[in-house]
């Protein structure tokens, strides 16, 4: 089963994932750190997450099948 998540201890709040895929990621109010929204992981969503993962300067996003 596909898992998509942001490694909390790696994310530093660059917000590039949110810019790339606001429908997949949300930003914490206090510091802009990212997490995956509570949504269904459709193919579209997983594709968007993979694209966003490429653009994370910290490589904090994990998409695993």
Partner 1 sequence: MAEKVVVDFDHHSEAYRERGMEIAAEAREKCPVAWTESHGGYWVVTGLEEASAFQKRPDLFSAARELGNPDSIYKGISIPFVDSEYGGGFLEMDPPVQLEYRRILNSFLSPSAVLSWEPMARDLTNACIDDIIELGEGDFVEQIVNVVPAVLTMGLVGLRLSDWAIFNEPAHAGIYTPPDSPDRPRVDELTAQMGATIYQYVLEGKANPEATKGMLRALLDATIDGEPLPEINIMGTVGLVIGGGFDTTTAFTSNVWRYLAEHPEDKARLVKDPELWGTATEEFLRFFSPSQGTARSITQDCEVLGYEFKRGERALVSFSMPNRDPRFFEDPDEIHIDRFPNRHAAFGLGNHRCIGSNLARMEFKTIMQESLNRIPEYTIDYEGVERYEDCGTINGNKNMPMTFPAGTRQGPGLADAIERWQAILDAQSASAS
Binding stretches for partner 1 (CB under 8 A)? 10, 12-16, 18-20, 27, 29-32, 51, 54-59
Question: Phi and psi of 45, rounded to 5°?
Answer: -65, -45
- Minimum distance from residue 61 beta carbon to partner 1 (Å): 11
Which is nearer to partner 1, 29 or 40 (by Cβ)?
Answer: 29
Task: Name 52's bridge partners.
Answer: none
Could you give the CA distance from residue 34 to residue 65 in angstroms, rounded to a whole number? 21
Q: How far is the CB of 1 from partner 1 (least distance, A)?
A: 26
Provide the minimum distance between the beta carbon of 7 and partner 1 in the complex, in angstroms, as a whole number: 11
């Amino acid at each position: 089963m596909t898992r998509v998540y942001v490694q909390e201890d790696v994310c530093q709040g660059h917000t590039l994932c949110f810019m790339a895929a606001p429908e997949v990621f949300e930003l914490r109010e206090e510091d802009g750190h990212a997490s995956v929204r509570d949504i269904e992981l459709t193919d579209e969503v997983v594709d968007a997450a993979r694209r966003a993962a490429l653009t994370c300067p910290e490589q904090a996003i994990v998409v695993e099948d």
